[in-house]
Structure 1
């Protein structure tokens, strides 16, 4: 009887082990199946990203905008294809002098103002905010943005008056001469002190471009844009701590700057070509 009982218990024990072992094997099969499915989905996503069908929602980029700036920025993409971005850049003097070829220069006074700005630029910055839309399958996109530009000019008060108001349109030059002849301090400031007016154009920029992904590294891309900048407004002013100098600035230099910049920069509109190098990160969006 005991022998029979041991036999039954042995059969039950090995049956349980067999069932447990099958259950573990089934779990391993299920885990392998899930992993294989995830690997296939990742491969599909990688291929889709390489074809511009998918993209990630965040992007860091550097760009060169000819003829204005070098910049670094961030872009966020929504699932709908809408893009929001912002960047900060520095003026390239070489670029900016080319851009100023698009300032009005039909008459001699306008041409003299343009030449003066080109010769005396010394640097600046650009802050830009934009919104756009991207067709992911084709890689084409469009952007509209606002640029807040800022750059400086180096010159004496005499150089500013001579070049920006050569015809005496904005000043009573006889009054200026009388004041200079009556004060050596005013005369020294006018002829010798270097001033640094700051010019602040605000521009609307519209751009169209196409993105090209690197096949070997789909997160990296190059986007080429063609753009056109329209001037919205501009201001220019110079300040001094000198009480003597403020007489010249308030009565002659700043009125000249405001009037001449209004004429020159109101039509400061130009095309541009941009190359943007980007790295995408974050979650994949369809």
Structure 2
């Protein structure tokens, strides 16, 4: 078991998500940064979809009642094990009774704590990912105990550490595709959309990131249409919304751009005030 001593700002259990249920209005959910998620499981030789703990902005603490191995990837929140600093992207032996603490943010927005064998909670609609109305919990709370499969009896020595290109988290120019309603924008609006630098607003979450700078919107109202993570919507007020992993499955705002999964990973590690600029890769077919 892992006991939650401090739950942090917003800490959840996530796997790769809940696919095949959009027809009944169920979002995909899953890890916001799938690159970091997959890396953590790969380092521990877990199954690719093993559930992990997704920690937003740190400030949490866990106690281990079993000896196991862990791996921390993604954002750097100054993690310490029994008061000793631990490295990102490495396999770390954790003795029974150990305390893992996440503190000051160095970079990024979300870190991933994987445990050997994964987190053993109930699967709902083929996924362990938390989501309101689907799972019993929306986030981890103080005093929760999280069951784990691993019970390592003997420590093995490993100094291996995987290199990761963290410059991606600072990337401003992000590649995207034209959305279904991109052609309804005037040439001037298209040029502005693709040259302007936008900043992440304080209104950002697992559902979506609203950008601060407006874009004139004179597109007529439209019927609700399908959306998915990475869809960039243009609201009547001219604000852009980048839909993220917990987004709804339909929306009535023009879909002017579509981001790739790789770009969603980058956006997921950005915080309020950081910048993005859209670059069209090629039109969608």
TM-score tier (shorter): under 0.3
Which protein shows a greater Rg? 1
Instruction: Provide TM-score, normalisation by structure 1.
Output: 0.27
Which structure has more helix as a fraction of its residues?
A: 1
Which structure has more strand as a fraction of its residues?
A: 1
